[in-house]
Amino acid sequence: METPMATDETTDFGFESVALDEKQGRVDDVFRSVAKRYDLMNDLMSGGLHRAWKSHLISMLRPPRNRPFRHLDVAGGTADIAFRALEAGGPATHTTVLDINEAMLRVGAERAGDRFTGRIDFVTANAEALPLPAEQFDAYTIAFGIRNVPRIDKALAEAHRVLKPGGRFLCLEFSKVDLPVLDRIYDAYSFHVIPRLGARVAGDADSYRYLVESIRKFPSPGRFAGMIEAAGFRHVSHRALTGGIVAIHSGWKVS
C-alpha cells in the first residue's frame, strides 16, 4: 500500500514529515555534505548502474547532432547528465545546469573545466521558481532530483513553463521495485549497506539514510505520471529499469 503524502503545509523529508519551507534547507545540508563524494558514492551505491541509467536517459533525450538544441538539466549539480548530453549532441547543443546547491554546482564546474566552452552554463536556482524565460528549452531533464523538491507540483509547472511547445520533459528517478525477491534484497541493501557506505566514504551516514528514505516516500510511477499530467504535460509515459529500481518518466509540452 502506498504511504499517504504529506499535507499542504508539510512535506516528506525521508520518513519524517517537515514544514515545506524547512525541507529545502535540510536537503541543501544533505547535498552540501556529500557534494565532493557524490559521484563516487553513486558508483558505490549502485554498483555503477547509475551510469547505465543515465545513458538510457540520454538515449531518450536524443540530442541532435546537426541543429540547435537547448537543454535544461535541473538538479544537475555535478553535471553528469550535462556532459553526456553534450557529448551525444552536436556543436549546437547547449546545456544549462541548474541546481539550488552551489557546492554541487562547483563540483560540476570544476569537472567541466575548459571542456564544452560556450555550450554549458551553470545556474544556482530553485527548481520551483526557475529564473528563466518561458518557452526557451527543447528538453528539460531532472535525474535523481525531483524527490528532493519540497513542492513537486511547482517544479513540474516550472518545467512546463520553460519548455517550448513540442519540448520534452524527462525525469530519471528511483521507483518501486516490483519483483518479489529483488525488493527484499534491495530493502536490506538500502537500509543497512548504503548508510554504512555513506559513513565510510562520505563521512555522513545520516545524509545517505535520508536519500534511502526519500526514495521510499516518493510517489509510485502511476501517481507521479498523474502529477506530470496535472502540470500540463501530454502523452505521459514511464519505463521501469532494472526491475523497477529506477524509472524514466516522459511527457511532452503541447500547449
Binding site for other proteins (CB under 8 A): 49, 52-53, 56, 59-60, 62, 64, 67, 138, 165-166, 168, 178-179, 182, 234-235, 237, 239-244, 250, 252, 254-255
Measured distance CA(139)–CA(53) in Å, rounded: 18
Q: What's the closest the beta carbon of residue 234 comes to other proteins, in angstroms? A: 6
Q: What's the closest the beta carbon of residue 22 comes to other proteins, in angstroms? A: 37
**Quick one: 20 or 52, whose CB is closer to other proteins?**
52
Q: How far is CA 40 from CA 55, 122, 198, 202, in A?
A: 17, 21, 10, 9
Q: What's the closest the beta carbon of residue 195 comes to other proteins, in angstroms? A: 24
Q: What's the closest the beta carbon of residue 252 comes to other proteins, in angstroms? A: 6
**Quick one: 124 or 242, whose CB is closer to other proteins?**
242
The amino acid at 151: R
**Quick one: 105 or 162, whose CB is closer to other proteins?**
162
**Quick one: 189 or 252, whose CB is closer to other proteins?**
252
Measured distance CA(59)–CA(76) in Å, rounded: 17
- Smallest Cα–Cα separation from 70: which of 168, 171, 158, 143? 168
**Quick one: 44 or 243, whose CB is closer to other proteins?**
243
Measured distance CA(104)–CA(35) in Å, rounded: 5
Helical (H) or strand (E) element with 165: strand 163-174
Q: How far is CA 244 from CA 80, 125, 147, 179, in A?
A: 22, 30, 16, 8
Q: What's the closest the beta carbon of residue 239 comes to other proteins, in angstroms? A: 5
Measured distance CA(173)–CA(248) in Å, rounded: 7
